[in-house]
């Protein structure tokens, strides 16, 4: 899992001092890696709707980053993020959208991503193409270059005024 999450974090080309949010952070693996990348001058917020996941993420962070002052985890919903408008340089969402029942909720979450993303910011959205499997599509949003793609996530991204820089399939296993 750590190798795969590292690949996802690397897609964003994080810089020291950036503000990051990880939506659906689970046990916090990606958020921990991002916190290391942005350093003490940056901040990372991991948000998950499941209290037990937030608890596990906090425990993992306390073990792996003794001083994790630039990282915090909160319980929250993807459609109502505990954050101000235009507050993050990078938004990550890894394997969250397939848990959202219905297109309306998915559109609401994408609108929320747009709300918290700073102008010129980047979003890295990773999910299964059309269900579960051993591959995932990674969507890097925020640039002005649009890559033609038939994945429904691309239409969802464009519907809130973001553009797609790159779509790619990433292998989760082996």
DSSP classification of residue 129:
T
**107 with 156: CB under 8 angstroms?**
yes
Give strand ranges (E) for 2-134: 19-23, 43-48, 71-75, 88-94, 117-127
What does the block give as tokens for 16?
């020291």
Alpha-carbon distance of 166 to 134, in angstroms, equals 20
Beta bridge partners of 169: 137
The string of pLDDT tens digits covering residues 70-122 is: 999 999 999 999 999 999 999 999 888 878 888 899 899 999 999 999 999 99
Confidence bin at 154 (pLDDT 50/70/90):
confident
Share the mean pLDDT of the chain.
82
Residues in CB range of 130: below 8 A, 6 or more apart: none
**88 with 134: CB under 8 angstroms?**
no
DSSP classification of residue 68:
-
End-to-end CA distance of the chain: 11
Q: Enumerate the domain spans of the chain.
A: 2-171
Q: What is the signed CA dihedral for 77, 87, 26, 55, rounded to 10 degrees?
A: -80
User: 6 in helix, strand or coil?
Assistant: helix
In CATH terms, the fold of domain 2-171 is Rossmann fold (3.40.50)
The string of pLDDT tens digits covering residues 41-51 is: 999 999 999 99
Nearest to 17 by CA among 118, 145, 166, 100: 118
């Amino acid at each position: 899992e750590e190798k795969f999450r590292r690949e996802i974090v690397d897609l964003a080309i994080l810089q020291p001092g950036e503000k990051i949010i990880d939506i659906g952070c689970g046990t916090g693996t990606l958020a921990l890696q991002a916190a290391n990348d942005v350093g003490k001058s940056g901040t990372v917020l991991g948000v998950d709707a499941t209290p037990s996941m937030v608890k596990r993420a906090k425990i993992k962070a306390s073990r792996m980053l003794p001083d994790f002052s630039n990282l915090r985890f909160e319980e929250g919903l993807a459609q109502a993020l505990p954050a101000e408008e235009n507050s993050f340089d990078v938004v990550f969402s890894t394997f969250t959208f397939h848990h959202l029942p219905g297109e309306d909720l998915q559109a609401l979450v994408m609108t929320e991503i747009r709300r918290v993303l700073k102008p010129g910011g980047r979003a890295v959205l990773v999910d299964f193409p059309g269900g579960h499997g051993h591959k995932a599509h990674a969507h890097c949003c925020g640039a002005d270059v649009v890559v033609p793609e038939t994945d429904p996530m691309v239409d969802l991204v464009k519907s809130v005024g973001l553009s797609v820089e790159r779509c790619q399939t990433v292998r989760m296993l082996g």
